[in-house]
Structure 1
């Protein structure tokens, strides 16, 4: 596979457009990616050239873009780069598209509240278990071990070998 995979960081330049087609959901928006550099003479950051990419999202990613992405928000987009060249009215024209595989908010410039979406099989499982009060697939516990368990584990470790 000789695909050009890119990861770009920029701001949403147009409101996302969402379409439901026979092939599934599709969303597109423009992303402005501006180069920033340190100007030593002025001792300040300065904006350089801005590139614009058309970002395409399909299926579940498109649905989540519709619910989560708005004009002006800072994003990180990963996907396949596709450069198009066309002739329009005798003029040569080119553009760059990104077929997105992942899109997320840039947390270096703000906060986000993540909400997991349910796949159709998860949704039906959860609906059947609503009466029982127990989720079908509980989230893993990411808590650290209680101190007494950590101390017991440390006591059972093998001593380090001396060289």
Structure 2
């Protein structure tokens, strides 16, 4: 049984949201997220070490993040926590935390936001409805003019 590390993190967008082309022409966007916890140090509250991670968004979420999220915005990100590992040019192994986002939104404890629902041009519901109507129409035509063996050109001369 595979286990996923699902996380929800609040922080500030540390870079502009970037879009990069993919081999399959799937929308992809990414940005760096800064999470700075508060900690009590010597009787006073202060900032602890900042944790940086990369957030990757795919498909519609990527398009919406590009249109909605800006550097410095407080956000709430939910998704799958990943650890990317790769060798650099010198062969030294590098790694970074990555969240494959399933949702991204503004952190409303830090300010206000305005939501716009996008209209879909051809939703699957519309296509399913249109396909169903077409099938019903064809079935009605078939019942009104049933196909007979005499109408089949392949059966010409059969039974003569």
Q: With the length of structure 2 as denominator, give the TM-score of the two structures.
A: 0.69
Q: Which has the higher helix share?
A: 2
In terms of mean alpha carbon deviation, does 17-26 or 47-56 score higher? 17-26
Q: Which has the higher strand share?
A: 1
Alignment of 1:124-135 (within 5 A): none
**Residue of structure 1 equivalent to 2:86:** 86
TM-superposition CA deviations, 1:81-114 (whole Å, max 9, x none): 1112233214232101110000000000010001
TM-superposition CA deviations, 1:44-82 (whole Å, max 9, x none): x31101111110001110010011000011110000011
Matched, 1:106 2:93: no
Alignment of 1:1-163 (within 5 A): 1-21=2-22, 22-39=24-41, 41-42=43-44, 45-88=45-88, 89-121=90-122
Matches of 1:19 and 1:86 in 2, distance apart?
A: 19
Structure 1, unaligned runs of 5 or more: 126-163
**Number of residue equivalences:** 123
**Residue of structure 1 equivalent to 2:152:** none
Structure 2, unaligned runs of 5 or more: 127-160
User: Residue 77 of structure 1 aligns to a residue in which SS?
Assistant: strand
User: Residue 66 of structure 2 aligns to a residue in which SS?
Assistant: helix
User: Residue 65 of structure 2 aligns to a residue in which SS?
Assistant: helix
In terms of mean alpha carbon deviation, does 111-120 or 33-42 score higher? 33-42
Larger Rg: 2
Q: Give 1:20 deviation, angstroms.
A: 5.0
In terms of mean alpha carbon deviation, does 105-114 or 21-30 score higher? 21-30
